[in-house]
Amino acid sequence: MTGRGFDADTDKSIGYLLRDTARRILNDLTARLETHDITLPQYFVLRELWQEEGLTQREVANRVGVLEPTMVTTLDALERRGVIVRVRSTTDRRKTHVQLTPEGRTLRDTLHGYSADVLDRALTGISVDDVATLRRLLQQVKGNLA
């Protein structure tokens, strides 16, 4: 059985290539983040907060794509690390908002730099036009599965 993207040969299977490529990118990034005592799941949380600070715990969990109990554990670690604080909502006591600390804001450029370096290495030898095409195609694939 074959489809347009499936191939029994893992060197040709779109799904396998996507998984293996993502795994390699994330492993490389993980090694760089470890120098700052930040895990990959914690980095994903920080990325969301760098885009929009003050999200509720539930909003962060939804954006990162994890369940709230898992998010609580990640936020506990980030709080111990001193890069976020949780603030009880003044309008709804059931909600807790996540704020960056000054150190959390300071990490942004360094950690984004690691991501940029990893992707630059991964995209070596690929033209700017091809990168734009890749981005567009991946967004379309993602949208097809949404």
The H-assigned helical ranges of the chain are 14-33, 40-51, 57-64, 68-81, 102-122, 128-145
Residue bearing the bigger pLDDT, 61 or 9: 61
Residue for token digits 């003044």? 90
Structure confidence at residue 113 (pLDDT):
96
24-79 per-position pLDDT tens digit: 999 999 999 999 999 999 999 999 999 999 999 999 999 999 998 999 999 999 99
φ/ψ region of 65 (left if φ > 0, alpha if ψ in -120 to 50, else beta) reads left
The answer to whether 118 and 27 are in contact (CB under 8 A) is no
Inter-CA distances, 41 with 72, 90, 116, 144, Å:
12, 28, 17, 25
> Rounded mean pLDDT of 68-91?
94
Residue bearing the bigger pLDDT, 94 or 25: 25
Where does the pLDDT of residue 2 fall: very low under 50, low under 70, confident under 90, or very high at 90 and above? Answer: low
Structure confidence at residue 11 (pLDDT):
84
With a cut of 80, say whether residue 3 has pLDDT above it: no
How far, in Å, CA of 30 to CA of 41, rounded?
A: 10
Structure confidence at residue 12 (pLDDT):
83
> Rounded mean pLDDT of 86-92?
91
Structure confidence at residue 40 (pLDDT):
96
**Fold of the domain built from segment(s) 37-115:** Arc Repressor Mutant, subunit A (1.10.10)
pTM of the model: 0.88
> Rounded mean pLDDT of 112-135?
97
Domain boundaries along the sequence of the chain: 1-36, 37-115
Where does the pLDDT of residue 10 fall: very low under 50, low under 70, confident under 90, or very high at 90 and above? Answer: confident
